[in-house]
Amino acid sequence: MPAQRRVRPRRPAEQDAESHEQRELREPAEDEPPEDEETPRSRARGLSAGSAGATGQRHIVELTGRQSEGITLVKPEDDGWVVNVEVVEDRRIPSSGDVLALYQVELDGEGELRSYRRLRRYRRGSGDQGEGG
């Protein structure tokens, strides 16, 4: 008697995941735009939040020539992203005396730099007093 093959049930994530080949072979639904047609939502979401943050951080490091401490905000805009990046502007000993700056980067949907500006400067140990100017 042949051995019976046990089939495990698919997890919900596996059921939702669709391979690239399967997407190419399947016909688009009536309410689904073709993949090559951009919608306002797809333009704004051409980049993931993580990619937008990393891209904004890279732009600030390249523009200022300073070390980034981290990303403090990633926010989608109409057709792009706004990213806030904290940068060490002046190293001190002890490090609690470092002067930090908060920069804001505006990116388009593909991650190209539109603009950037420094929002504020502050000492590392001064506490958070909001991100506004």
Give me the pLDDT at residue 52, please.
97
Summarised one tens digit per residue, pLDDT across range 42-90 is 444 589 999 999 999 999 999 999 999 999 999 999 899 999 999 999 9
- Spell out a b/e string for 94-103, using b for 16 or more CB atoms within 10 Å of the CB, else e: eeeebebbbb
Q: pTM higher than 0.75 for the full model?
A: no
87 in Cβ contact with 66 (< 8 Å):
yes
| CA–CA separation, 27 and 4 (whole Å) | 35
Q: For the chain, give the mean pLDDT.
A: 77
Tokens of 29: 């639904």
Residue 54 in any domain: the answer is yes
Residue 66 in any domain: the answer is yes
Count of domains observed in the chain? 1
Residue 118 in any domain: the answer is yes
How far from 107 is each of 73, 87, 103, CA to CA, in Å?
A: 13, 18, 13
Residue 10 in any domain: the answer is no
Residue 132 in any domain: the answer is no
Domain limits for position 111: 49-123
Report CA dihedral (22, 28, 29, 33) to the nearest 10 degrees.
130
**Half-sphere exposure of residue 109, counting CA atoms within 13 Å on the CB side?**
11
